[in-house]
Amino acid sequence: MCGIVGYVGRKKAQGILVEGLKRLEYRGYDSAGVCVLDSGQLLTAKCPGRISDLTAVLDTRPEMDAATVGIAHTRWATHGGPTEANAHPHVSDDGQLALVHNGIIENFLALKQVLTAKGHEFVSETDSEVLANLIAELYRTADTLEDAVRTALHEVTGTYGLAVISRREPDKIVVARRGSPLVVGVGDGEYVIASDAAAIVEHTSNAVYLNDNELAVIRPDGMKTLTLDNMPVPKDLEQIEYSLEEIALGGYEHYMLKEIFEQPEAVRNSLRGRLNLRETRVQLGGIEPIGRELIKTRRVIFTACGTAWHAGLIGEFLFEDLARIPAEVEYASEFRYRNPIIPDGTVVVAISQSGETADTLAALREARDRGATALGIVNAVGSTIARETDAGVYLHAGPEIGVASTKAFTCQVVVEALLAMYLGRRKFMSQFSLGELMGALDAIPDQMQTVLTQNDRIGEVVAGLIDWDNWLFLGRGYNYPVALEGALKLKEISYIHAEGLPAAEMKHGPIALIQEGMPVVVVAPRCSTYDKVISNIEEVRARGGRVIAVATEGDSRISRYADSVLWVPDCPAPLQPLLTVIPLQLLAYHAAVQRGCNVDKPRNLAKSVTVE
């Protein structure tokens, strides 16, 4: 989604802004722009295309080089196509101020009509330019830029993260947010603002996170934060959790591959301090304050989108299996618009890597408004979902840059397993059973490492199938969500059509798709439904399907049925998704590379979906 960067300080702004935009590239965009303030002039450069196109434009604008205040933006088109006119920053029609904006102004047409009647002119199709002109209109009579911004935002329906600079107050950036993240990096005599901490870490790890309906006024010598009602809000400095090394490629060709290979370490970090093996106890500090209340949980609703929804489906199975609590998973986008029934004792668990997904956030708010206790399973520390839940457990997976979620998925499943074990032990689970499962969970990072050694072989398996445009993914029980996730991974980065199914459902329709040579990936580790899955494989083979099985090491039977076998070490069924998903992530990765797709920037996709 769109990215914002801003700088105010003593250094030259342009380089910092462009570097910041590069750090946000992974989020997806189709145009970019910079506006700096120099000697009371607003100087703007913008264009459709990549940051490299923008730097080519900037090379022709040496007059923009010396400024020490500026704002910049990467845009992912919503209102109007990716053109130079629609790219941000937008300069108001009186030339007084420039604005960058993430989010959507829902009432922009009504505002545009009013402003047009007052004589304002518009050069773009965007809602953001309307906001720029609205602020400019109010700025004519306002004492300060922040007054004009505040008043304008009271007129606005919708979401925004925004940054504004003006000719009249050239040493100042005003930023505000509602529903779209904004972080202020606090340096020594300088501030870097951004919609994502990735653009800040190079300069400082000290940050102030704005909450919804807050605004900050930032000058080189200090900042103040206010509510939109002009009340001061004291803020503590927080630490940005990750470092520059963590967001660098570190020798890998793509972030997705790097993050697949980071999974053993990411899971170790997710488990750190949470498995007390000596006392056979799961320790989850984040939910401790409401631990007693949680034991009375009568029903759990997981809500999430995409890959996080697949993790939620595994969560449903884990909670029913290990904690004996009725559980279900809901698409956040559906849940928020239904009229959901939330009886007493309902706990809603929002699962989100970014912690900013608009639908998940809205579903969470809907559930809270109806009285549910809200838990978060979130990766991005300080994100909106993390802050709006009653309690939660962070993933500690480290930054996930690749658009296709991989290590966040496995860490989401780890955290769900920990939560289910934590509650299960307090309800039904014996200490012995818990101890066995804890030991198995502790062994997962090393087992993941073993699975990863098959990377090259998986590439070879894919090479033999790469011309197929339709694939099926089958699994049962805990491995049914893995089949769904394998299909999603393949289609989103390689653009191959793929369907994931509970294996037995195949014969109720989709079996008609199978023809000679069609790739069918069957997730078939040893578990209670193993024999049934073998029958499903036979059904596929009888119709000429080419079977790629994911199976337990040492399973001598499976090779008789499958054309290729990808091996995973043995582990208890509830933990199998943590291992069985890895070969599927690698299958998708190699398919995308072999088809020449841009793995880290798949078409039409953005990393964090902050619009509905």
Instruction: Enumerate the active-site residues.
Output: 2, 607
Per DSSP, 61 falls in state -
- If DSSP states are collapsed to H, E and C, what string results for 397-431? CCCCCCCCCCHHHHHHHHHHHHHHHHHHHHHCCCH
CB of 190 to ligand F6R, least distance (A): 30
**Residue among 131, 608, 610, 611 that touches ligand F6R (CB under 6 A):** 608
Q: Distance of CA 271 to CAs 337, 396, 411, 442, Å?
A: 35, 9, 9, 8
79 token code pair: 């209102």
- Residue span 355-384 as binding mask against ligand F6R, x where in contact by CB under 6 A, dash where not: --x--x------------------------
CB of 353 to ligand F6R, least distance (A): 3
Q: Is 354 in the site for ligand F6R (CB under 6 A)?
A: yes
Q: Is 609 in the site for ligand F6R (CB under 6 A)?
A: yes
* Of 187, 192, 176, 180, nearest in space to 6 by CA: 192
The phi-psi region of residue 270 (left if phi > 0; otherwise alpha if psi is between -120 and 50; otherwise beta) is alpha
Stretch that binds ligand F6R, among 134-142, 300-308, 476-484, 546-554 (CB under 6 A): 300-308
Q: Is 405 in the site for ligand F6R (CB under 6 A)?
A: yes
List the end-to-end C-alpha distance of the chain, in Å, as a whole number.
12
**Quick check: helix, strand or coil at residue 75?**
strand
> Closer CB to ligand F6R, residue 354 or residue 576?
354
Q: At what angle do helices 263-271 and 431-452 cross, to 10 degrees?
A: 160
Looking up tokens 């074990």 gives 421
Estimate to the nearest angstrom the gap between the alpha carbon of 3 and the chain centroid. Answer: 14
Which alpha helices (DSSP H) does 319-349 contain, by range? 332-335
**Residue among 492, 524, 536, 610 that touches ligand F6R (CB under 6 A):** 492
Q: By beta-carbon distance, which residue lies closest to ligand F6R? A: 306
Q: Is 353 in the site for ligand F6R (CB under 6 A)?
A: yes
**Residue among 20, 306, 392, 424 that touches ligand F6R (CB under 6 A):** 306
Estimate to the nearest angstrom the gap between the alpha carbon of 573 and the chain centroid. Answer: 27
CB of 306 to ligand F6R, least distance (A): 2
Strand residue runs (E) in 467-545: 470-475, 497-502, 519-523
Cis peptide before 89 (omega within 30 of 0): yes
> Closer CB to ligand F6R, residue 134 or residue 395?
395
**Euclidean distance between CA atoms 612 and 600, whole angstroms:** 23
Question: H or E stretch including 257?
Answer: helix 255-261
Residues binding ligand F6R: number (CB under 6 A): 15
Spell out the residues 6+ positions from residue 467 whose beta carbon is closer than 8 angstroms to its own.
none
CB of 438 to ligand F6R, least distance (A): 26
**Euclidean distance between CA atoms 64 and 34, whole angstroms:** 9
For residues 544-603, which are near ligand F6R according to CB under 6 A? none
Amino acid 278 reads R
CB of 386 to ligand F6R, least distance (A): 12
- Residue span 90-129 as binding mask against ligand F6R, x where in contact by CB under 6 A, dash where not: ----------------------------------------
> Closer CB to ligand F6R, residue 176 or residue 592?
592
Stretch that binds ligand F6R, among 98-106, 221-229, 302-310, 437-445 (CB under 6 A): 302-310
> Closer CB to ligand F6R, residue 190 or residue 492?
492
**Residue among 208, 404, 487, 581 that touches ligand F6R (CB under 6 A):** 404
> Closer CB to ligand F6R, residue 488 or residue 533?
488
Q: Is 269 in the site for ligand F6R (CB under 6 A)?
A: no
Stretch that binds ligand F6R, among 1-9, 237-245, 346-354, 568-576 (CB under 6 A): 346-354
**Residue among 136, 186, 267, 305 that touches ligand F6R (CB under 6 A):** 305
**Euclidean distance between CA atoms 29 and 52, whole angstroms:** 13
- Kindly list the residues in this chain that would bind ligand F6R in the complex (CB under 6 A): 305-308, 352-354, 357, 360, 404-405, 488, 492, 608-609
